[in-house]
Amino acid sequence: MSVSNPIKTIEIQLPDGSSKPWSTDQSFQEFILEFLPFLKSKALGVELDGTTLVDLSYKPQTNCKVKFLTFQDKDGKEIFHHSTAHLLGQAVQRLWKDAKLTVGPVIETGPGFFYYDIDFAEEVITTDHLPKIEAEMAKIVKEGLDVHRSILTRKDAIAKFEKEGEIYKAELIAGFTDDTVSLYGQGEWYDLCRGPHVPNTSLLRAFKLTAISGAYWKANKDNKMLTRIYGVSFPSKKELDDYIFQIEEAKKRDHRKLGKEMDLFSFQDEAPGFPFWHPKGTILWNTLAEYIRSECFQRGYQEIKTPAILNSTLWKRSGHWDNFHENMYFTQIDEEDFAVKPMNCPGCSLVFKHHMHSYRELPIRYMELGTVHRHELSGVLHGLFRVRAFTQDDAHIFCSQETLQAEVKAIIDFTFDVYRKFGFTEFLTFVATRPEKSQGSDEDWELATNSLKTSLQDNGLEFGIKEGEGAFYGPKIEFNIKDSLGRLWQCGTIQVDFSMPNRFELEYTANDGKKHRPVMLHRAIYGSLERFIGILIEHFEGKFPLWLSPVQMRILTVAEPHSDYASDLASELTSQGYRIETDLRNEKIGAKIREAILRKVNYLVIIGDKEVAGNTVSIRKRGEETTESMDKNAFFQLLSSDL
């Protein structure tokens, strides 16, 4: 005979610190109806005591602190997306009675927020089937089925799924070590799942199935090939429509597509993952390099260059050999082991160590546009966003502990100044803390982490925490920029490093006449020029501001007699530092204009009889349909004001 828990009154503490009395025979869903009715259609689950996620149907038995999760919370989104995966699974099994379900997780990357791997027996499922599945999912939403959780012993669960012919589920449970498993049901359908889930299918109002692919069961090519169906979901149709618009817009802005159309860069089979920069792309690359170099010089940085290949003893001393070995390339020289540098910091440390330094010289700020090589698996390579060779706008600052906070603050200000130059005005900032694989003392890590947090607080910046995502040698600040489509990109970092100065025995003479260890700050603002260029291409849709454009204007002639005037104008503009293309072909001017528009140049300059006779130009700004006539000097002034 089972004995139920006696009913008692407990305290539920809310995020604002207030508490409410509650009975142990009532659920969190009932709590919301009584005390927080505005969350009735928004709450998706509960975070219990900051550690455990439970369903709204859960009946708490002890005093607890709760946070009701909505779609605005990361965990709330995961509950919502995983619940939609169940919606997909139920719809499929209503339509295909013999279909067998395997796993349906939430994912962070790929063509959806979730997927379900399904064995459709011998039937081939294509994208043509997706509308049919979506229609069945919509029916289930309209039915408003309550979602309920049940607990079975592992043995009973295996028997239940085997009886239903769900061989994949039975195989999964057989590999579990827990004595019990949980099932989630809605209507006639149920599935193996830890949960939690939304309380009712009616909440899953807006979704779309986005892609189909093949996937081996348990990612083993010796197992059966399954059908993987991807999907996305949102609480409202507007949010879904906004997302779909953003995805379609992102496809148009894909830097790989635009990079090819604008002839900026390419990837070749002879060097997979290593970008080839074409003339126009090299102009873009060099313009970015010169800009950051100039900004560094104004802030007291000195430029250095360090070798691409260094002896293995250096990498063992720095800690990279033990902590970054799988990402490195190796070679032998004179029968000794060498490695191609994956980071610039050890070489920079040798530059600092080459001379003795006084406290009067500190802080010493070295900057290096250093090309590094990292071994990335072929499956994660992605245009300029994930490559095997890239150039970091790297800098390493050696300072005393007393000036550490001031240096970090200066880097923060520098970083935001650069981002605003490109039109980025919205940022998210994080502090990434000590990872499991790391080096250095607990005291140094605590001091370094607190210094970053304090610097952000002193700057009035809000920040999140990324637990365990710091570099192996120190914690870091991560700067995320929001582009014109509202997407976030992690770019700049600031890292505080006490480890490498110790490993390389770096010293300076302090004002007390004794030798002291400097603090080493690592910082990058672009992150890498390659990735930052990819971001800029998509942010601007290839329509760069004038100062950055590889081709700033294209001079078009109406007919052959206008070529001399056009060539002279091109020479004059080139001598002033502008980047010019001319189109002197004997083609119709309309065709020339259409082609020039596709090249996304900032200005079209049209030369005909009137312009030659009056020593003028007719210009059309990018994105405009009208042409304006002006004398050359006025045009030069316009260009100067646009830089």
Contacts of 81 (CB under 8 A, 6+ apart): 106, 113, 114, 232, 233
Active site residue 396: yes
Q: Is the dihedral of CA 610, 613, 614, 617 positive or negative?
A: positive
Active site residue 129: no
**Pairing outcome for strands 553-557 and 580-583:** parallel
Catalytic residue among 100, 320, 522, 531: 522
Using CA atoms in the order 463, 468, 469, 470, what is the torsion angle rounded to 10 degrees? 90
Contacts of 62 (CB under 8 A, 6+ apart): 10
Catalytic residue among 55, 117, 393, 394: 394
Contacts of 621 (CB under 8 A, 6+ apart): 602, 603
- The pair of structure tokens assigned to 314 is 């250096």
Using CA atoms in the order 588, 591, 596, 600, what is the torsion angle rounded to 10 degrees? 160
Active site residue 522: yes
Q: Is 445 in a helix, a strand, or coil?
A: helix
d(CA 253, CA 211): 20
Contacts of 1 (CB under 8 A, 6+ apart): none
Q: Is 349 in a helix, a strand, or coil?
A: helix
**Pairing outcome for strands 64-69 and 100-101:** unpaired
- The pair of structure tokens assigned to 121 is 């027996």
Per-position b or e across 64-100, b if 16+ CB within 10 A of its CB: bebbbbbbebebbbbbbbbbbbbbbbbbbbbebeebb
Choose among 479, 457, 345, 476: nearest CA to 409.
Answer: 457
**144 to each of 58, 201, 356, how far by Cα in Å?**
20, 5, 74
- The pair of structure tokens assigned to 255 is 């830097």
Catalytic residue among 81, 280, 396, 562: 396
Q: Strand ranges (DSSP E) for 361-507?
A: 364-373, 389-399, 427-432, 464-466, 476-482, 488-497
Catalytic residue among 129, 374, 434, 554: 374
Catalytic residue among 476, 531, 562, 592: 476
Residue 92 · residue 84 · CB < 8 Å: no
Active site residue 348: no
Helix (H) or strand (E) holding 64: strand 64-69
Catalytic residue among 345, 348, 399, 491: 345
Per-position b or e across 577-609, b if 16+ CB within 10 A of its CB: ebbbbbbbeeeeeeebbeebeebbbbbbbbbbe
Catalytic residue among 29, 90, 392, 495: 392
Choose among 504, 481, 503, 479: nearest CA to 492.
Answer: 479
Active site residue 375: no
Torsions phi, psi for 275 (to 5 deg): -70, 145
Beta bridge partners of 516: 508
Active site residues: 345, 374, 392, 394, 396, 476, 522
